[in-house]
């Protein structure tokens, strides 16, 4: 206000016109240069500061609003494991070892024997010995398999249920049906026993012989030299009894020195045509350290009438079942 009065002071000496025409006619007596307005830096700074504060406040309110919005949203919970939890985390361990089937016999072979049967005898080992026979458990699972054809014969010297030797397996080309232990017989007159195995059951039954050596090693015996006619050379020695409509078989033993002579007889004809005759084979064998040696082998064809062979067999003191 004081500044305005100072600037209007020169007008105090001017006479006031009576009419508007006098204002237009009169010219100013002296020049009038109104003083330009002075700048006020303090006011400008104050205004700038105010604008800055308003801007900052607006931005801060925007950030607060955004933070409130984010705070309202659910956030996932992150649980950091403690050092003990990390140390105690479960690790993959080794797979459990397979357990032996409870129906199997454990003779320390690394597998079990299922459907096991055994017989004790006076073998060449010189001490109490038991022979076990059955089928082996499945590979890897140690479980018994129904109708398995993997037969095993194991020798337990001393009766501690630990096998010292075994035959594994006696394959399906040897054991066909109902294999098992038939009994014991001294087939070479050495006062020690051999194990007689049933290799095939049914109406016609086939048997094999296992020798037990002094160290307990079992051997399924074959033929020493040429086998009888019609019998494979690389197979085990077989003795057959029983028969059906066209076939019949019988086994018997004679003599005692140098060992029992085992006689095998067989008759084979044509069903419903027996009047045509039959082929009859008779051979004898002797058990030697190398296997069964063929002593005689005779084959006759067209035999009429076919011979009637006994239904029972006597394998040197071991009575084989009746047909």
Condensed to tens digits (0 to 9), the pLDDT of residues 259-306 reads 899 999 999 988 777 678 899 999 999 999 999 999 999 999 999 888
Q: How far apart are CA 97 and CA 38, in angstroms?
A: 103
DSSP strand pairing (247-254 vs 261-268)? antiparallel
Q: How far apart are CA 16 and CA 22, in angstroms?
A: 9
Q: How far apart are CA 89 and CA 156, in angstroms?
A: 48
Confidence at residue 151, expressed as pLDDT on a 0 to 100 scale: 92
| Other CB atoms within 10 A of residue 87 CB | 8
The distance of Cα 123 from the centroid of its chain, to the nearest Å, equals 39
Confidence at residue 323, expressed as pLDDT on a 0 to 100 scale: 56
Confidence at residue 232, expressed as pLDDT on a 0 to 100 scale: 87
Q: How far apart are CA 212 and CA 216, in angstroms?
A: 6
Confidence at residue 192, expressed as pLDDT on a 0 to 100 scale: 92
Confidence at residue 43, expressed as pLDDT on a 0 to 100 scale: 57
- CB-CB contact of 291 with 224 (8 Å): yes
The list of the chain residues with pLDDT below 50 reads 20, 23, 30-34, 63, 70, 86
Confidence at residue 3, expressed as pLDDT on a 0 to 100 scale: 64
Cis peptide before 258 (omega within 30 of 0): yes
Confidence at residue 5, expressed as pLDDT on a 0 to 100 scale: 65
Q: How far apart are CA 269 and CA 277, in angstroms?
A: 7
Q: Give residue 63's region: left, alpha or beta (phi > 0; psi -120 to 50).
A: alpha
| Other CB atoms within 10 A of residue 53 CB | 10
Confidence at residue 175, expressed as pLDDT on a 0 to 100 scale: 84
Confidence at residue 32, expressed as pLDDT on a 0 to 100 scale: 44
Q: How far apart are CA 157 and CA 123, in angstroms?
A: 10
């Amino acid at each position: 206000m004081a500044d305005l009065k100072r600037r209007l002071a020169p007008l105090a000496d001017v006479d006031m016109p009576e009419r508007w025409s006098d204002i237009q006619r009169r010219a100013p007596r002296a020049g009038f240069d109104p003083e330009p307005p002075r700048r006020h830096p303090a006011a400008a700074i104050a205004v700038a500061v105010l604008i800055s504060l308003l801007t900052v406040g607006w931005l801060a309110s925007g950030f607060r609003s955004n933070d409130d919005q984010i705070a309202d949203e659910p956030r996932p919970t992150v649980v950091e494991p403690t050092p003990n939890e990390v140390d105690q985390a479960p690790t993959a361990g080794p797979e459990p070892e397979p357990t032996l089937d409870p129906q199997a016999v454990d003779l320390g072979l690394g597998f079990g024997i299922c459907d096991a049967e055994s017989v004790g005898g006076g073998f060449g080992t010189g001490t109490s010995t038991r022979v076990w026979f059955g089928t082996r458990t499945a590979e890897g699972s140690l479980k018994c398999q129904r109708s398995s054809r993997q037969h095993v014969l194991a020798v337990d010297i001393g009766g501690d249920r630990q096998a010292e030797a075994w035959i594994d397996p006696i394959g399906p080309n040897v054991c066909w049906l109902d294999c098992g232990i038939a009994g014991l017989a001294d087939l070479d007159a050495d006062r020690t026993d051999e194990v007689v195995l049933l290799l095939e059951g049914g109406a016609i039954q086939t048997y094999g012989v296992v020798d037990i050596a002094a160290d307990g090693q079992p051997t399924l015996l074959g033929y020493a030299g040429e086998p009888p006619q019609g019998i494979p050379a690389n197979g085990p020695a077989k003795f057959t009894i029983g028969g059906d409509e066209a076939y019949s078989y019988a086994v018997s033993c004679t003599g005692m020195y140098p060992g029992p002579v085992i006689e095998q007889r067989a008759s084979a004809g044509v069903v419903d045509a027996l009047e045509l005759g039959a082929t009859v084979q008779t051979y004898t064998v002797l058990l030697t350290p190398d296997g069964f040696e063929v002593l005689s082998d005779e084959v006759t064809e067209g035999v009429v009438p076919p011979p009637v062979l006994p239904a029972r067999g006597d394998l040197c003191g071991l009575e084989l079942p009746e047909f």
